[in-house]
């Protein structure tokens, strides 16, 4: 009888059969090896995570009230400014000349009023005394001439001349009295002089205000976001020269998917991290939830107040927002990677019944980043499979710890 000799190819084939066939048979009989996840109790934190931007409630646009040529710009993008600090200076030669003319006119009006008290009124009082004396003299002359005419010592013509002089003296006195009346404090001359001074001062105020418009100051404390003007530019009223972000409470504006709306409430705390400064988180609080959902995008706007903003925070910075909307202790939780066919607070899982797969519907409560609360459908100690496990209901599997 001829003996079979084991050659190298036969030995290799036999080894391959011994290595490959048993696992295939085991996998077919016992099922595929899949990671099993535990359903267990613990603390659960529910978060809403989104990306937003740093904003302020408003931005101030700085412009000119007059037409002018820019002489100097004292600030630039990113610089901090204080209220009252000059930002843009316009050429002011015309306005300064106008102010000088108005000031000269005011000085003249004040001198005219001062002259009333220092010269005109004393002169009018002296003229009044002189007129009274002249009238008294004319009255005496007329009386004496009447007596002389009665004794036929003078002619009637001489008496007429004395009476004419008396009438002139009376007219001079009336003019002196009128002049003196207008020059007393509160009289017409003083009223006219006061009005002239008031008009001149108003003209000075207008010229001063016109000159002030050539210097454009910051109305508040803040940071310059955009500079849109350079020396030599001609500016028009209403054009924006600078945009300033005022100091004050910074806010975070962030969109969130409408599915995350349930559980959000005003006042909920959040941690914010600027993309430019990873690892440096700061606190915020939910202050606004938009009443309207964007129909095209399916999201809504949130705003978060930052009471103590860090020094590195800048307008329009991109930030990551983590809003804490709920926290519970000792809740039954299932890993989120096991959830399939999520629909509101319902989902399906692959539950292990021994070593066979069971398709189970579960009801969910608090939703966390890694796990979700199980309200019904699972019990503590249950094991579930990842949602993407290549299994089907009733299939036998070999569970393993991931």
Can you give the pLDDT at residue 10? 55
Assess whether pLDDT exceeds 80 at residue 117. Answer: no
Can you give the pLDDT at residue 2? 47
What's the domain count of the chain? 4
* CB burial string 19-42: b at 16+ within 10 A, e below: eeeeeeeeeeeebeebebbebeee
In a domain, 28, yes or no: no
| Structure-derived torsion over alpha carbons of residues 61, 62, 65, 66, reported in degrees to the nearest 10 | -120
Q: 135-185 pLDDT, tens per residue?
A: 788 788 878 878 877 777 777 788 778 778 878 878 887 887 777 777 677
Residues 317 and 337 occupy one common structural domain: no
Residues 75 and 98 occupy one common structural domain: no
Q: 341-397 pLDDT, tens per residue?
A: 888 789 999 998 888 889 999 998 887 778 888 999 988 888 998 988 888 888 998
Q: How confident is the model at residue 30 (pLDDT cuts 50, 70, 90)?
A: low
Which of 327, 354, 378 lies at the terminal end of a domain, its last residue?
Answer: 327
Q: How confident is the model at residue 320 (pLDDT cuts 50, 70, 90)?
A: very high
Percent of the chain with pLDDT over 90: 31
Can you give the pLDDT at residue 373? 87
Assess whether pLDDT exceeds 60 at residue 28. Answer: no
**Alpha-carbon gap, residue 104 to 106, rounded angstroms:** 5
In a domain, 300, yes or no: yes
Which of 302, 327, 352 lies at the terminal end of a domain, its last residue?
Answer: 327
Which of 290, 309, 327 lies at the terminal end of a domain, its last residue?
Answer: 327
Contact of 349 with 371, CB cutoff 8 Å: no
What's the mean pLDDT when you consider all of the chain?
83
**Alpha-carbon gap, residue 149 to 157, rounded angstroms:** 10
Q: How confident is the model at residue 134 (pLDDT cuts 50, 70, 90)?
A: confident
Residues 147 and 172 occupy one common structural domain: yes
Assess whether pLDDT exceeds 80 at residue 186. Answer: no
Residues 190 and 239 occupy one common structural domain: no
Residues 167 and 186 occupy one common structural domain: yes
**Alpha-carbon gap, residue 47 to 63, rounded angstroms:** 44
Q: How confident is the model at residue 51 (pLDDT cuts 50, 70, 90)?
A: very high
Range(s) of the domain holding residue 313 = 50-56+246-327
Flag whether the pTM goes above 0.85: no
Across the range 279-297, mean pLDDT stands at 90
Residues 251 and 312 occupy one common structural domain: yes
Assign residue 392 the CATH number of its domain: 2.40.420.20
Can you give the pLDDT at residue 105? 93
Residues 120 and 176 occupy one common structural domain: yes
Q: Which stretches of 342-389 are DSSP H helices?
A: none
Give residues with Cβ within 8 angstroms of 269, minimum separation 6: 283, 284, 285, 286, 323, 324
Residues 138 and 275 occupy one common structural domain: no
Can you give the pLDDT at residue 257? 87
Can you give the pLDDT at residue 8? 58
- In this structure, of 30-44, 182-196, 292-306, the range with the lowest mean pLDDT score is 182-196
Kindly state the helix (H) or strand (E) to which residue 212 belongs, with its residue range. Answer: helix 188-212
In a domain, 148, yes or no: yes
Across the range 26-34, mean pLDDT stands at 66
Percent of the chain with pLDDT over 70: 91
Assess whether pLDDT exceeds 50 at residue 24. Answer: no
Across the range 270-280, mean pLDDT stands at 91
Q: How confident is the model at residue 283 (pLDDT cuts 50, 70, 90)?
A: very high
Residues 284 and 316 occupy one common structural domain: yes
In a domain, 23, yes or no: no
């Amino acid at each position: 009888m001829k003996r079979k000799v084991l050659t190298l190819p036969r030995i290799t084939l036999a080894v391959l059969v011994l290595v490959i066939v048993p696992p295939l048979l085991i996998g077919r009989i016992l099922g595929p090896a899949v990671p099993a996840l535990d359903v267990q109790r613990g603390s659960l934190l529910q978060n809403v995570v989104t990306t937003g931007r740093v904003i302020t409630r408003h931005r101030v646009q700085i412009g000119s009230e007059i037409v002018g040529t820019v002489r100097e710009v004292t600030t630039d993008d990113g610089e901090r400014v204080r209220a009252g600090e000059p930002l843009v200076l316009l050429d002011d030669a015309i306005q300064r000349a106008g102010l000088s003319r108005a000031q000269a006119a005011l000085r003249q009006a004040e001198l005219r009023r001062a002259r009333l008290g220092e010269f005109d009124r004393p002169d009018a009082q002296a003229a009044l005394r002189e007129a009274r004396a002249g009238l008294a003299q004319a009255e005496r002359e007329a009386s004496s001439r009447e007596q002389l005419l009665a004794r036929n010592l003078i002619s009637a013509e001489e008496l007429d001349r004395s009476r004419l002089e008396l009438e002139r003296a009376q007219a001079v006195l009336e003019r002196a009295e009128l002049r003196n009346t207008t020059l007393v404090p509160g009289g017409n001359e003083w009223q006219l002089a006061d009005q002239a001074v008031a008009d001149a001062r108003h003209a000075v105020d207008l010229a001063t205000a016109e000159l002030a418009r050539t210097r454009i100051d910051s109305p508040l404390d803040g940071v310059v976001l955009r500079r849109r003007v350079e020396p030599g530019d001609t500016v028009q009223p209403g054009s924006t020269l600078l945009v300033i972000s005022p100091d004050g409470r910074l806010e975070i504006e962030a969109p969130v998917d409408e599915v995350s709306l349930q559980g959000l409430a005003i006042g909920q705390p959040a941690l914010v991290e600027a993309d430019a400064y990873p690892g440096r988180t700061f606190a915020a609080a939910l202050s606004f939830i938009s009443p309207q959902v964007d129909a095209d995008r399916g999201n809504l706007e949130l705003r978060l107040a930052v009471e103590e903003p860090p020094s590195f925070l800048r307008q329009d910075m991109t930030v990551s927002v983590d809003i804490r909307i709920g926290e519970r202790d000792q809740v039954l939780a299932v890993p989120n990677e096991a959830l399939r066919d999520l629909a509101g607070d319902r989902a399906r899982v692959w539950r292990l019944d021994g070593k066979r797969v069971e398709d189970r519907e579960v009801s969910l409560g608090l939703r966390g980043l890694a796990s979700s609360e199980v309200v019904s459908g699972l019990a503590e100690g249950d094991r579930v499979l990842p949602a993407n496990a290549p299994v089907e209901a009733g299939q036998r599997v070999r569970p393993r710890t991931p």
